[in-house]
Chains A and B, each alone.
Chain A
Amino acid sequence: MPSLCRDCARPAEDDRSVCPHCGSGRMLSHPELFDLSIAHIDCDAFYASVEKRDNPGLRDLPVIVGHPGGRGVVTTACYVARKFGPRSAMPMFKALALCPDAVVIPPDMAKYKKVSAAIRALFAKATPLIEPVSLDEAYLDLSDGVRLIDRTPAVLLVRLARAIERDVGVNVSVGLSYNKSLAKLASDRDKPRGFAVIGRAEARHVLSELPVTAIHGIGKATARRMAEAGITRVEQLQSLPEAALVARFGKFGRALSHLVQGDDPRQIVADRPCKSVSTETTFSRDLSALPPLAKALEVLAFALEKRLKRAGLAGETVVLKLKTADFQSLSRQSRLSYPTQRADVLREHAMHLLEREADGRAFRLIGIGVDHLAPAESADPPDLFGARRFG
């Protein structure tokens, strides 16, 4: 079986547990190792790792990145902290109850962006086809004719992971497969500092053992609906014909019938154009009265205008996002007859939506965004009545 040393990146003749070249025990073996070229690379506990890198005294301590204080949530928990239970998106008070000794560090997004850019620069040496998902993860297409270095994708990835550790100072986990869903699934199977491979021969079987939420596109709501029908494992979905899935889940059923068989037609798209721009804020105390909600919205509308202007964009649909005290998210939208980037227009439309929702419920978060983006030149055509407001 093809093997590869994860330390010296040299292939081995046969299936060995120790590298014949460097003596490392980190050997990677898989029948399809040299035949796969779609990768998902995910930084391990990214924000926390960056903080540890910059402050070595923290190395063995439980570190949580997130806003301290009553309302904050965990952005990232390092692997030391995770042993005690804290996870991303967990309310900070809960995380600290589980892990009272944790060092809490407020996020420094500017720093993480810089680190992320350094990682992306390393990716760019391997392939131009990089699809970033967030600051700390990306898909890479290393297929023949795409990749820039004449090595097998697996060797390239091992070198890349090593370079990121050495030059940037954070660890990554790599998933290698033949499509995006499976590559993503793989990167999650051997964390941290992992390298997992899912080949064509095993994909269906690997999927069959997973809960339905492992499938791209099945979120909480769909999973709940499936559970009501007694479906909790991918295996059960695999046994249903496409027609049955379509009958039950509509249009998504079609995509689902392929995904559960390990078939994912989505291509890796470099520099996916941005589809929406938004900004939001979490309150220090839940708010239910309209005036303070309106005030928060106004501030956000100006922030959104600034963002849109900087990006040279305008949006034709205004989206209001709210999260209730019990974590129910809701979003409402209003379509304009032209794209806008003006704070007063954004605010006016979002206010109109907010007035209908502010019925006494307590909200913990409010956000405003735009969809249906258009270039700034087409924004806010002149109006017959000059000012937007009259009457």
Chain B
Amino acid sequence: MKLTIERAALLKSLNHVQSVVERRNTIPILSNVKIEGANGRLSLNATDMDLDIVEAVPAEVAQPGATTAPAHTLYEIIRKLPEGSQVEIEQSGDDSQLVLRSGRSRFTLASLPVTDYPVMSGGELPYSFVLGADDLKGLIDKTRFAISSEETRYYLNGIYLHAASSDGVPVLRAVATDGHRLARVEVPLPEGAPGMPGVIVPRKTVAELRKLLDETSVDVTISLSETKIRFAFDDAVMTSKLIDGTFPDYERVIPADNDKVLEVDCKSLSQAVDRVSAISTEKSRAIKLSVDKGGLTLSASSPENGSAVEELEASYEAGPMEIGFNSRYLMDILAQIEGDAARFAMADAASPTVVREVTDSSAVYVLMPMRV
């Protein structure tokens, strides 16, 4: 194999694929990226056996062929080459070495036989639909902050993607929760999705997918079965295993009858929470909301730091109440609300509170209160 490619193009693709490769691997070849030159394209493939990504970039292929090289080392080298340089990748006769040349630099990298590179079998992916990049971004961005990182609740370590009905309208829903907060977002159900199984897309896949979405605004083709999901872009295809578990019945924890409704300017609230919570301890991050007809008062106190109070204008008609939240969780949710105003529907100081955007009902957030 011998090919020449522009550094910038190679760097961009390598950046996508190398982050799939784990830093520590017990299986040596999983530290490598597969490099294949054919038909005027260089294709890069990385996998951790759960997540597989293939990305192709135009290259001048003098001699087709394939090999593997250490992903992180290769990425480091390409990153450090001067801008605008050309990179020549060559593999001669045997499978054990790869030579990389650029300008006056020359690197010899140890490679492992390409025949040993694991292939992630797609299997049959019976459901397939197309989603706009912005819709997919929205589903991810508004839910990923609530993904649980507790390994013991592995079935919460991802975004639950499924078809549902919202007031009779079929929707594609994304839900994530860690037990303390929950985010539920939906878009109209795309053609091809009806009947799809509910799937839990793992956290790492979500993160890598989001990176690819950063650089595109085209449609993404999503294909899935009960065990795998594939995201196809113009030049990249990502295939991932799904979390083998049952997502809990989240509908039952979204209260429908909370009648104490508070409407408040989202940005002012977020900034005030940020200020007041500076006083609460690192461990608890608790903040208290006191509401009555006169408005909203935020307060926090800690034995070490002192106390803080801030008053905000708000619309509220029900009886006065006090409720405590984890300030960071509250700010996470407020950061997702795009409109000007947030609506809090509360029941009491111990029950889940529902937060929505006043003008948009497609996103629902549930927040468990804290003792304050």
Q: CB within 8 A of A337: which of B178, B246, B370?
A: B178
Which B residues are CB-close (under 8 A) to A56? none
A292 at the interface (CB under 8 A from B): no
A381 at the interface (CB under 8 A from B): yes
Report how far A375 CA is from B284 CA in the complex, Å. Answer: 10
Contact B370–A381 (Cβ < 8 Å): yes
Those of A350-375 within 8 Å (CB) of chain B: 352, 374-375
Please judge, given known A-B contacts A339-B283, A391-B248, whether A384 and B152 are in contact too, CB under 8 Å: no
Q: How large is the interface on A (under 10, 10 to 19, 20 to 34, 35 or more residues)?
A: 20 to 34
Contact A385–B371 (Cβ < 8 Å): no
Contact B180–A383 (Cβ < 8 Å): yes
- Interface flags, A331-348, vs B, CB<8A=1, else 0: 000101111000000001
Q: CB within 8 A of B248: which of A336, A378, A390?
A: A390
Q: CB within 8 A of B180: which of A348, A381, A390?
A: A381
Q: Quick one: closest A residue to B326, CB to CB?
A: A381
Contact B368–A384 (Cβ < 8 Å): yes
Report how far A188 CA is from B371 CA in the complex, Å. Answer: 51
A273 at the interface (CB under 8 A from B): no
What is the distance, in angstroms, from B262's C-beta to the closest C-beta of chain A? 20
Report how far A349 CA is from B150 CA in the complex, Å. Answer: 9
Q: CB within 8 A of B368: which of A316, A349, A375, A383?
A: A383
- Interface flags, B249-285, vs A, CB<8A=1, else 0: 0000100000000000000000000000000000110
Contact A383–B151 (Cβ < 8 Å): no
Which B residues are CB-close (under 8 A) to A374? 283-284
Contact B283–A384 (Cβ < 8 Å): no
Which B residues are CB-close (under 8 A) to A339? 283
Contact A391–B283 (Cβ < 8 Å): no
Which B residues are CB-close (under 8 A) to A349? 152
Please judge, given known A-B contacts A378-B284, A382-B369, A384-B253, whether A338 and B180 are in contact too, CB under 8 Å: yes
Report how far A334 CA is from B150 CA in the complex, Å. Answer: 8
Which B residues are CB-close (under 8 A) to A348? 152
Report how far A336 CA is from B155 CA in the complex, Å. Answer: 16
A209 at the interface (CB under 8 A from B): no
A60 at the interface (CB under 8 A from B): no
Report how far A339 CA is from B284 CA in the complex, Å. Answer: 9
Q: Quick one: closest A residue to B366, CB to CB?
A: A384
Contact A378–B149 (Cβ < 8 Å): no
Please judge, given known A-B contacts A378-B283, A383-B368, whether A352 and B152 are in contact too, CB under 8 Å: yes
Those of A117-175 within 8 Å (CB) of chain B: none
Report which residue of A336, A374, A390 has the largest number of chain B beta carbons within 10 angstroms of its beta carbon: A390
B179 at the interface (CB under 8 A from A): yes
Which A residues are CB-close (under 8 A) to B350? 382
What is the distance, in angstroms, from A216's C-beta to the closest C-beta of chain B? 29
Contact B368–A381 (Cβ < 8 Å): yes
A377 at the interface (CB under 8 A from B): yes
Report how far A375 CA is from B371 CA in the complex, Å. Answer: 13
Report how far A349 CA is from B151 CA in the complex, Å. Answer: 8
Which B residues are CB-close (under 8 A) to A382? 350, 368-369
Which B residues are CB-close (under 8 A) to A334? 151-152
Contact A337–B150 (Cβ < 8 Å): yes
Contact A384–B150 (Cβ < 8 Å): no
Report which residue of B148, B369, B370 has the largest number of chain A beta carbons within 10 angstroms of its beta carbon: B370
Q: Quick one: closest A residue to B177, CB to CB?
A: A384
Which B residues are CB-close (under 8 A) to A391? 153, 155, 245-248
Please judge, given known A-B contacts A339-B283, A374-B283, A391-B246, whether A384 and B151 are in contact too, CB under 8 Å: no
Which A residues are CB-close (under 8 A) to B326? 381
B352 at the interface (CB under 8 A from A): yes
Which A residues are CB-close (under 8 A) to B179? 383-385
Q: CB within 8 A of B149: which of A316, A337, A375, A377?
A: A337
Report how far A338 CA is from B326 CA in the complex, Å. Answer: 11
Report how far A390 CA is from B246 CA in the complex, Å. Answer: 9
Would you list the 7 A-B pairs with minimal beta carbon distance, nearest first? A383-B179, A384-B253, A378-B284, A391-B246, A374-B283, A391-B155, A391-B248
Q: A337-B150, A384-B177, A385-B253 given. 19 additional CB < 8 A pairs?
A: A337-B149, A338-B180, A339-B283, A349-B152, A352-B151, A374-B283, A377-B371, A378-B286, A381-B180, A381-B326, A381-B368, A381-B371, A382-B350, A382-B368, A383-B368, A391-B155, A391-B245, A391-B247, A391-B248
Q: Could you list some 26 contacts between A and B, CB below 8 A?
A: A316-B283, A334-B151, A337-B148, A337-B149, A337-B150, A349-B152, A352-B152, A374-B284, A375-B283, A378-B286, A381-B180, A381-B368, A381-B370, A381-B371, A383-B179, A383-B368, A384-B180, A384-B352, A384-B366, A384-B368, A385-B179, A385-B248, A391-B153, A391-B245, A391-B246, A391-B248
**A residues neighboring B (CB under 8 Å):** 316, 334, 336-339, 348-349, 352, 374-375, 377-378, 381-385, 390-391
